[in-house]
Homo-oligomer: A and B are copies of this chain.
């Protein structure tokens, strides 16, 4: 019986006015929505969050997938921020909000008249949050940033790739979502305190600075060696490093048919167990291989001993057998395999919602389980879907007033 997720009520009652777009900001507010907050995306009536539409200009909108991933469980309100009445309405929403957050280009929110000083006047108790590419005071403060820029300037790219080759950007958008998560922690902690004190806060994070938070193992290696760590790649164990610690090729030899196998220094038993799994007990006690130090001198030989076995197995079989023996092992699963994975679907880590225009949308849920269940994933909003609902609920506006504002072009249709 599949776990369909549950409503998490932790942040019930928290109102968030959300000006974010693309991913670093939306990933943050989506996590808060999954935990129960009411997140209202403020969008322009014409096109909304540019993340809604990654398709080529002029082409039919066949690419709503990115938007769904980062905007589940949210509401959408469309308003023209450049009209005085529109700005007034948003200020009235801000007066009722607990949190507001934006990740526009540097200077934009201030030009809209919604900078920190303005909003603080309207609502001194608000938690006002900003995500930028570079920190206030950085020489790059005014520069634009996207995920790949943050991953370059904050370090991750420098440590990713094969030894002796050009650096490679880590594939996942850690620069965006990795930043959004740090802001989400800070917002929840600020909310906890504010419940007692009523005090507002200004929270700011830069994507470059956030990447540095994820670079602490490489920093610790630099502190030991004085040098920038060489890129390790991981298709091969590195002479001088822990051996084995590499990706081993599996049947049938497709682009992702590999299994990562690792023997820790802390547990010499890993190697002995591995020898049993691969039927090479004959090497147990062989001083050429029996310690990390010895194997470290013979990385290529050790890799070949292991590969000779993995090449005859699928990655799933290799992971299962090696893992079961108490040796850390992980198959390289790709997106198609993960989306179809029975366990991820049964456990509610992958959930499917029905969207009015897209149809069935499968996506990952918030992966932390609360009392056994992940949060229920609900559809991302249509552009302006909740305009009337939010203005009625938060501001007590009448249907006639809302209709008038729509007719005047202050609100989206």
Contacts and interface: CB of A to CB of B under 8 A. Distances in A.
Contacts of A192: 10-11, 188, 191-192, 195
A65 to B, nearest CB: 4
Given A168-B162, A171-B160, A193-B10, A368 B216 contact: no
Given A12-B193, A189-B10, A262 B167 contact: no
Given A212-B338, A217-B172, A155 B333 contact: yes
A392 interface: no
Contact of A184 (B57, B185, B256): B185
Contacts of A160: 160, 168-172
Interface in A223-282: 223-224, 226-235, 245, 247, 249, 255-256, 258-260, 262, 264-266
A206 B314 CA distance: 23
Contacts of A245: 148
Contact of A364 (B56, B166, B216, B258): B216
A363 B219 contact: yes
A336 B216 contact: no
Nearest to A8: B189
Given A152-B332, A215-B335, A324 B143 contact: yes
Interface string A124-158: 00000000000111111011111011111111111
A32 B192 CA distance: 12
Interface string A304-340: 0000000000000001100110111111111111110
A255 B370 CA distance: 45
17 contacts: A10-B190, A35-B186, A35-B189, A56-B293, A136-B369, A146-B262, A154-B338, A155-B334, A158-B335, A167-B258, A173-B214, A181-B181, A182-B366, A195-B195, A204-B368, A213-B367, A215-B364
Contact of A140 (B201, B319, B337): B319
A263 to B, nearest CB: 10
A295 interface: no
B172 A328 contact: no
A344 interface: yes
A31 B213 CA distance: 10
A46 interface: no
